[in-house]
Amino acid sequence: MTQDKSLKDEPQVLFLTRSYRKGFERWEVERLVRIMLLKIINVTLPITLNPSAQMGFFSFVLVASLVLHATQAPYTKDQWNQIELGLLVLALLVVNLTSICLANEIHWARSDEVQVPLMVVIAVMVAIAGFFPVLPVDS
């Protein structure tokens, strides 16, 4: 749809492309591929089967997306690019802290003094990202 010149003024195309800089109209595909990859990893490698593999693949997808966003800055407003980068860094940090939590859970020297604060930190980070105010889209 974004490549078809006859559809470029259609509302559904404008909805998908208006927040991106010129030449980055297809960037929404990166977001959809990222979401699809994270869902596929979640389904094919459930946390109960192999938690370290799941967290490793999550990290790989998030790092790839972080590098793409850092090098390309696809949004029209720098603030949106910074927010996206911040959220990707936060997601990567949550995945890594969860990996540490899972590794500590499996390890024989597990201690509640480490596990509980680690889980609280993860929950607070997710809560902050979840309640992050949505910025209005200027046309």
Q: pLDDT tens-digit profile of 9-23? A: 566 555 566 677 887
Q: On the CB side of 48, how many CA atoms lie within 13 Å of its CA?
A: 1
Measure the CA–CA gap between 113 and 54, rounded to whole angstroms. 25
Span 66-93, pLDDT tens digits:
999 999 998 888 888 898 898 899 999 9
Span 43-59, pLDDT tens digits:
998 888 888 889 999 99
Average pLDDT, the chain: 80
What pTM, to 2 d.p., does this model score? 0.74
Measure the CA–CA gap between 135 and 59, rounded to whole angstroms. 27
Q: How long, in residues, is the chain? A: 139
Measure the CA–CA gap between 104 and 100, rounded to whole angstroms. 6
* Domain chopping of the chain, boundaries: 5-130
